[in-house]
Amino acid sequence: MLKLIPYYTGKKNLEEVMADKKSRDLLWLEILLNDDVDWENKLSDDDLKQSYDKACVWYGNFKTMLEHAVKRKSLQSKKGAINQKEYRKFIKAINFVAT
């Protein structure tokens, strides 16, 4: 069950998300903040794998904050650079999911 993307784009399932660019651009946040979906079993799709890897980089950079704000099982923690332009989107998404 998706939590974040339906609020922002109205797309309710993964098939709708993958068919919509705006929703795909938010998929890394959905993966990062939603452990209700078994993302690891869906990694055969290249776009989803890229979003998953991006979520893991953000998880690695903000693990302590995420563990405090969002109760989720751990993601892989990957090293990598984050796009500072997306930080504001990240904070808004955490606030949305945490409330």
The domain spans of the chain are 5-98
Q: First and final CA of the chain: distance in angstroms?
A: 17
Residue 22 CB coordination number (10 Å): 12
Strands of the chain, DSSP E: none
Q: 35: buried, middle or exposed (CB in 10 Å: 19+, 13-18, 0-12)?
A: middle
For 47-75, what is the mean pLDDT? 93
Say what the pLDDT of residue 68 is: 87
Which candidate, 67, 76, 96, places its Cα nearest to that of 3? 96
pTM of the model: 0.94
User: Using 50, 70 and 90 to split pLDDT, how confident is the model at 70?
Assistant: confident
